[in-house]
Structure 1
Amino acid sequence: MESSGQNPLRENHTKVVEFILISFSDVPELQGFLFGVFLIIYATILMGNSLILIITKIDAALKTPMYFFLSNFSFLEICFVTVTAPRLLADLQRQNRSISFVACAIQMYFFLILGAAECFFLTVMAYDRYVAICNPLLYHLIMNNRLCFQLAAVCWVSAIPVYTGFTSWVFSLSFCGSNQLNHFFCDIPPVVQLACGDVFMTEMLVYVIAVLVAATPFTLILGSYVNIISTILKLPSATGRAKAFSTCSSHLTVVILFFGSGIIVYFKPISSPSTGMEKILSLIYTIVIPMFNPMIYCLRNKDVMIALRKFLLKYNDSKA
């Protein structure tokens, strides 16, 4: 009897040297439309996060821990989306969607590292808000420059050794038979599904890493928000409560969508047949949510809007 994590050996034992990304080729009549939609989304992500980087850099009023983490997060979003979006746009415009083993491994490696960094930064940003709301008198003492830089450094580099080893493990598997990768980028589940032989240990590694990188940060974020909401409910001003709830609900919605879609993808048994839903869920956390992040973190933020108006006025004056 085969184990649940085992892929049967294919009839064709020819060694696979490249993958073919299926992307959205199953809907050829929508290729042009999808290209336009994803191009607009990608441009929106680049412009929105670039504006955040600029205004947090030049505006003295935004030199606080909250905006330090936000600027890091914005740069991270640009990198994270750039790992997948340009390739997706190119594949929507061409017939040859082949990707070499090396290119696939590099894409997976950076996608996983940056995705993990995003999970960690969302956790750190939730902790920052927790300290600011629940311990306002100690906020600047706790969130000092040294701690902020240390937390940012941990977010950026902590996943590198884990995913260096894991990506090497995945691409050391034997691949034979079909090389049709039913996805729009090289993600763990669709790649491992093409491996020959027993992938039980790989599947277990995926679950363990998903718990450490996604489920644990998600639990910590929810815990922070429970304390934040509890503190907000004690505020004497109804206006203050409404404002705080408005901001928190927006952030929490993004967190739930990002972590929820990612956890569903990575906790789903790799050996189970692909339904196409994985691509939709992946689109949510790789492209759709990063498009809304600048709006949620900035357009609803009074300080950022003031800084943005000042920047645009200076820019218009310089061009006049």
Structure 2
Amino acid sequence: MYFFLCNLAVLDIILTTSTIPKMLALFLINANSISFTACFAQMCISHTMEQFECFLLMIMAYDRYVAICKPLHYESIMNKNFNILITVICFVVACILAVSVSVFTAQFPFHGANTINHCFCDNFFIARLSCVDITPLTIWISAVIVVLVFIPFSFVVFSYISILRSVLRISSASGRQKTFSTCSSHLAVVIIYYVSIVVSFSSYRADDVSDEFHALGTIFFAVITPALNPIIYTLRNKDVQLGFKMFIRNKIVVIKS
């Protein structure tokens, strides 16, 4: 669990680092220009991390499934080599899909005022600057969304259905609560993640709304969700709570002395 949490923390740091500094520069000192290369680099990095998180949440759901439904086989199934291998595979697939969309978009001709009504580079806004038909790109993005959203989401739903069945077989109420509480943090993160996907995708598909609504959808997905993840796991993790209490207690002792 901590191995996957570490990966989640790293990708959230990279995701926010790729977007927030430029947003702050835009808001604070009105630095509203970015080079073509930097724009597509930002788009590649942010999309890769977003897609990797989708796969990572799927792996974490499988980890909880094995821990609850097959506890005696947990050590043999979720061993170190398997964890590293499946994480690397998911990262490579996410990277290939994200880079393919960015490269596809970069091939379009861009003329005139290359200005977008957004605070960071997003594929939807960049593609709209092109002076050619972007239907092939839209079809490819739809195919990528099927791979990134529906397949992992179906796997997560299947895992939690199996987990729920196993929990309901436990006779004591305290045992059911204790077992299911190990999934509460991950389940909260999954819900927030897929709600943000719905908001982002609805803003992408809604052609009759303003650009501000489109931008709000992508900001919610790329900024708000990564900011909530550490808070959720911090509040639910007893080790982190204990460490934080010890830190505060030590500071109080130092102040009093």
- TM-score normalised by structure 1 residue count: 0.71
- Count of matched residue pairs: 255
What is the aligned partner in structure 1 of residue 131 from structure 2?
196
Contact 2:68–2:179 (8 Å) recurs in 1: no
What is the aligned partner in structure 2 of residue 288 from structure 1?
224
**Distance in 2 separating the partners of 1:128 and 1:290:** 21
Task: Report matched runs for 1:13-24 at 5 Å.
Answer: none
What is the aligned partner in structure 1 of residue 189 from structure 2?
254
Match of 1:143 among 73, 78, 88: 78
Match of 1:305 among 221, 241, 248: 241
Contact 1:192–1:270 (8 Å) recurs in 2: no
The superposition leaves residues 27-61 of structure 1 with CA deviations (integer Å, 9 ceiling, x where unpaired) of: xxxxxxxxxxxxxxxxxxxxxxxxxxxxxxxxxxx
Instruction: Name stretches of at least 5 consecutive residues in structure 2 with no aligned partner.
Output: none
Task: Report matched runs for 1:146-225 at 5 Å.
Answer: 146-225=81-160
Instruction: Name stretches of at least 5 consecutive residues in structure 1 with no aligned partner.
Output: 1-65
What is the aligned partner in structure 2 of residue 132 from structure 1?
67
**Distance in 2 separating the partners of 1:288 and 1:271:** 21
> What is the CA RMSD across the aligned residues, in angstroms?
2.7
**Distance in 2 separating the partners of 1:182 and 1:244:** 47
Q: Which amino acid aligns with 1:252?
A: L
**Distance in 2 separating the partners of 1:68 and 1:313:** 28
Contact 1:258–1:285 (8 Å) recurs in 2: yes
Displacement of 1:249 in angstroms is 4.3
- Is 1:76 the counterpart of 2:6? The answer is no
Displacement of 1:311 in angstroms is 7.1
**Distance in 2 separating the partners of 1:176 and 1:290:** 34
The superposition leaves residues 229-257 of structure 1 with CA deviations (integer Å, 9 ceiling, x where unpaired) of: 22122222212323444553443232122
Contact 2:204–2:214 (8 Å) recurs in 1: no
The superposition leaves residues 47-85 of structure 1 with CA deviations (integer Å, 9 ceiling, x where unpaired) of: xxxxxxxxxxxxxxxxxxx11111111111111111111
Displacement of 1:158 in angstroms is 2.2
Q: Which moved more, 1:269-278 or 1:152-161?
A: 269-278
Q: Which moved more, 1:262-271 or 1:101-110?
A: 262-271
**Distance in 1 separating the partners of 2:43 and 2:129:** 15
**Distance in 2 separating the partners of 1:227 and 1:139:** 15
Q: Which moved more, 1:79-88 or 1:221-230?
A: 221-230
Match of 2:162 among 227, 232, 247: 227
Q: Which has the higher contact order (CA 8 A, sep 6+)?
A: 1
Contact 1:83–1:110 (8 Å) recurs in 2: yes
Give me the identity figure in percent.
36
For the structure 1 residues 314 and 138, does the alpha-carbon distance in structure 2 shift closer, same or farther, using more than 3 Å as the test? farther
The superposition leaves residues 6-28 of structure 1 with CA deviations (integer Å, 9 ceiling, x where unpaired) of: xxxxxxxxxxxxxxxxxxxxxxx
**Distance in 2 separating the partners of 1:316 and 1:170:** 55
Contact 2:60–2:186 (8 Å) recurs in 1: no
Contact 1:80–1:286 (8 Å) recurs in 2: yes
Displacement of 1:216 in angstroms is 1.6
Q: Which moved more, 1:132-141 or 1:180-189?
A: 180-189
What is the aligned partner in structure 2 of residue 3 from structure 1?
none
Displacement of 1:299 in angstroms is 2.1
**Distance in 2 separating the partners of 1:298 and 1:271:** 36
**Distance in 2 separating the partners of 1:133 and 1:238:** 16
What is the aligned partner in structure 2 of residue 90 from structure 1?
25
Match of 1:239 among 153, 161, 174: 174
User: Higher helix share goes to which structure?
Assistant: 2
Task: Report matched runs for 1:7-46 at 5 Å.
Answer: none
**Distance in 1 separating the partners of 2:250 and 2:60:** 30
